[in-house]
Structure 1
C-alpha cells in the first residue's frame, strides 16, 4: 500500500506489473483527491453545478494526462476528455482513462457512486487497471487478486442504473429471480460485483472503452467473468472506441446470464 491520506485505503487486486500497477493506483487516487477538493465548491450557494461538473472533468483529465506523460513519456493516452490521436492504434502501450466516471453522481453532494478509471493496454492486451472511488476513499487495482466471495445463497443481485432499465437487462434479472440494486457510474457498478455486494452487472445501449477498461481489468483479476453480452471478448484500443455492451458477473452465473441475454 502506498502512503496517502489517512482517509483513503488502497485495495490492491493486480497482475504483477508492479511499476505500472502502482502508477495507475497513485494517479487514479490523486485525481480522486483533486475531485473531492473541487466538489466542495458545489456547496457554495452561487456556484453553477453544471460548470462545476465540466470543470471537474477538465481538472481530472489534465492531471491524469500530465502525470502519465511525466512517468511514461513514450506511451499513448485515450481519454474521454481528450482529443483522440489515432497514432495510439500502432502504439505498444496505451493508457485508457475516464477522468470522472459518473459525472451526474459527482454533482449530487452525498453520493459516493462515481469513480476515476486508469487502465493500460499493451500490444492490444488489457494488463493494468485502477478504479478509484474517492468518496469512500478506496482504490481498487489489478494486484493480488482475491478469491471471489462465496455465494450468498439468496436471490442473485443485479446492479442497474437509476435512470435506464434496458429490456434485455430486465428480462435477464426476471429470469434469475434477481433483486435489483440501483447505482450510478459504471465503475461503481463493476466494483460492487468485485466486492461481492452484487452478483451481476450487465450493460447494453452504449459505452466507450474508457467506461469499462479499468473496471474490466480489476474484475478479471478478481476472478470474475468479463465479456460482451454475447460472450465475445472485450477488445480495447480499436480505432473506434465505441464498446456498447458489457457483462461482469460471478463465474458460476455466466452461462445462465449469457443464455438469457442471447434470447
Structure 2
C-alpha cells in the first residue's frame, strides 16, 4: 500500500486497539488505562512500520529517540495516543491517534484517527474544508488544560471566540469540520503533536505555519516544535497580523520594563 493508505490503516488500527482496551479494562484506574493505552498503541505502530517500511526512520512520543534510517530522509512521526488525559476519562471523546510522514523536512502523508467518533481523516482521501459558517467573530480552538497566554493576548486585540477542546489532533480536525475557524498553540509542543494534523489539514486546503508565519519543518535534531497556527485560508493574513501585534506588544512591554 502507498504511504497515504498506510497512514490511514495504522491510525485506524491503533484507534481500534485503544477503543477495545478502554472497553475491556473498565476496572482499571485512569492512570493505568492511559499508560497501557500509550504502550500498546505505540507497540502496534512501531511493529507495523518495521514490517511495512523497514528502511524508514520513526519518531514517537512514546519512544526515546528516532530509530535508525537508511539516509532516505523519510521519517514517520507518530503520537500513539494524543490526549492521554482525555482517553483516561471514559466520558470524553476528544482524543486521537496521529501518524504522519515527513520527507526531508516536509510532510507528505498523514492520518488522524478520532476513534471515539469512528472516523479517520487522512491524506489518501482528503476531505475539503467545511463551508465557512456565519459567525460574528472567528472561533479559535485552544487547549483546555494548557491554554497558552498568546491566545488570551490575541483575544484582547482581535474579536475572536476561544473554544476550549481536548487533544491537538481533535482541535485541528475541528478546523476541517467547521466546528472552529482556527487552532493556535504556543509555549511548547513537539513534532508528534502537529505532524499528522498538519498533513491532513494542508491536504484539505487549510493554512498551517508557525505563529510568525514561517514554515513548519519536521525531522529536526530535537522534536521540539513549540508553536502552531492552523486556520481557514481566508483568515491567514488576519490571524498572522494579530499574532504579530501580540508579539510586538510583548517585546515592547519587556523593553519598557
Fold conserved between structures, TM > 0.5:
yes
| Structure 1 residues 65 and 86: CA distance shift in structure 2, 3 A | closer
Out of 182, 187, 195, the residue aligned to residue 205 of structure 1 is 187
Matched residues, number: 244
State TM-score, norm by structure 1.
0.88
Determine if the alignment matches structure 1 residue 93 to structure 2 residue 89.
Answer: no
- Which residue number in structure 1 is paired with residue 164 of structure 2? 182
Q: Structure 2 matches for 1:116-131, cutoff 5 A?
A: 116-131=97-112
Root-mean-square deviation (CA, aligned residues, Å) is 1.6
Give unpaired runs (5+ residues) of structure 1: 1-17
Determine if the alignment matches structure 1 residue 262 to structure 2 residue 252.
Answer: no
Question: Contact 2:104/2:219 (CA < 8 Å) preserved in 1?
Answer: no
Give me the whole-angstrom Cα distance separating, in 2, the residues matched to 1:253 and 1:72.
38
| Structure 1 residues 49 and 42: CA distance shift in structure 2, 3 A | farther
Out of 8, 12, 23, the residue aligned to residue 25 of structure 1 is 8
- Which residue number in structure 1 is paired with residue 204 of structure 2? 222
Question: Contact 1:206/1:242 (CA < 8 Å) preserved in 2?
Answer: yes
Deviates more, 1:209-218 or 1:81-90: 81-90
Alpha-carbon distance, 1:87 to partner = 4.0
Give unpaired runs (5+ residues) of structure 2: 246-257
Determine if the alignment matches structure 1 residue 59 to structure 2 residue 40.
Answer: yes
The higher relative CO (CA closer than 8 Å, separation ≥ 6) is in 1
Structure with bigger helix share is 2
Question: Contact 1:42/1:109 (CA < 8 Å) preserved in 2?
Answer: no
Give me the whole-angstrom Cα distance separating, in 1, the residues matched to 2:72 and 2:185.
29
- Counterpart secondary structure, 1:143: coil
- Counterpart secondary structure, 2:2: helix
Give me the whole-angstrom Cα distance separating, in 2, the residues matched to 1:250 and 1:174.
21
Give me the whole-angstrom Cα distance separating, in 2, the residues matched to 1:21 and 1:131.
11
State TM-score, norm by structure 2.
0.90
